Structure 1
Amino acid sequence: PPDLIAWRARPAGRVGFHNDCFLASDTDVGTYDEDPALRARQRAVMQALGDIAPFGGETCNPADEAGARPRTDCADILGEGAAFNLTYLNDSYYRRAFHERWIAGGCMDQVRRSMGYRFALGAAEVPQRTTPGARFEVSLAVQNLGWSRPMNARPVEIVLVHAETGEVRRLPASGVDARDWGPGETAARLGVATPVDLAPGRWRVLLALPDADPRLVGDARYAIRFANADDAAKGQGWDAALGAFALGAEITVD
């Protein structure tokens, strides 16, 4: 509608878009206007919206529209999935014309991996030393291999594990919001305050993105898991008990 086309997406906007005939015809079976120029504007608005709010839906039977030209190839779903920042797609309907063709075309696994966000750590820099009460900074290169970004706020934590005693401390990071980690690579700088009572010695450094809900924040099953494979040689890997990714680095508290 004209009022939606005139709307300008803002970070505070939380209205998502569900397309229940995604890729099914030129108009997505009535989702968009029949006029090509107006339809192009509508699609552009929805693409912009998908960058800051959830976009998803399902396919449908192209026969629901006379003369429909469905977009069923792997190139179609991979191109438009990325363009609209696809976060979810009904896996049960309408499989015959779409999902089964993507399976035959060899791209279904890529589609599944790409929906939503998929973080991988590219690089991490951790200072060698800190002192109680001081601040330090952790620099990250985060790759988002998915088509979208997280829509809900999440804590970002540096988790420290004492090399000798096994004590665990979770330190909130400032100056970072995981919702800013859109598709592609993002350089993030995390500010961390060293607790005044932090014991001296060597501490292993991990990165955690737990759920923000107080009922789930301590449940590792709800933490975002990084896509990196475990690498014992680098000391990097997922810690299922802590719900955190080991950066393969240590920091010494004097």
Structure 2
Amino acid sequence: MKFVSWNVNGIRACVKKGFLDYFYEVDADFFCIQESKLQEGQIELDLDGYDQYWNYALRKGYSGTAIFTKHKPLTVSYGIGDNDSEEEGRIITLEYKNYYVVTVYTPNSKRDLTRLSERLQWEDTIQKYLLDLKAKKSVIYCGDLNVAHQEIDLKNARSNRGNSGFTDEEREKMTTLLKSGFVDSFRYLYPEKEDMFTWWSYMSKVRERNIGWRIDYFLVSEELAPRISEASIHTKIMGSDHCPVILELELETE
């Protein structure tokens, strides 16, 4: 089965830049997006063969997530635990017989780190949520996680140390999550592959020079690791300041 995750940084703008061409070309079983930046009724996507699940932020033009899938889920939830809603539209969970698919747009701690404490609280909450799911069945967790985990995951590690997305605290939360029974699918296959990034600043020629960060991920329950057949990053796909990340997993179609 093929999974795609892409922070589109505004789905309406991305559609004008070739989103649908890529969508049909990649032909995924699950296509997850983050930062949809719209409200219900502001776009109509005709995605033949796919069910659509959207989580909109209350604030207009902000955040938001969606999953487009060929496989009808048993259940769908849009929050964490008993709270089946959250104001920023950051999470969707689809349940299947043997696994969950969870897409998330992790809060940014902001350039001045004013949201760092809130971000760390989010990390604790989402980890508990994922572990509760994992106790029931396998989990496929993806999205813009807004952290470069290791120095290999960004171009200029030394100068960015302590900056939003590369603070010791954010990186440690990722380490803790992985140690709790999850695998970074890309690093599982390519532990030493350098210069593979998923986000670039809009500053002049930054993307052209590949001065980027790897902050978009597919994490899977450790028992699924042997079923990872490919994990890739489609760096040449434009339309957003992020590019799509792909996971191919040997799972039965349900």
**TM-score per shorter chain, which class?**
under 0.3
Question: Which one scores higher on RCO, CA 8 angstroms, separation ≥ 6?
Answer: 2
Specify the structure having the higher radius of gyration (Cα): 1
- Taking structure 1 as the reference length, what is the TM-score of the superposition? 0.26
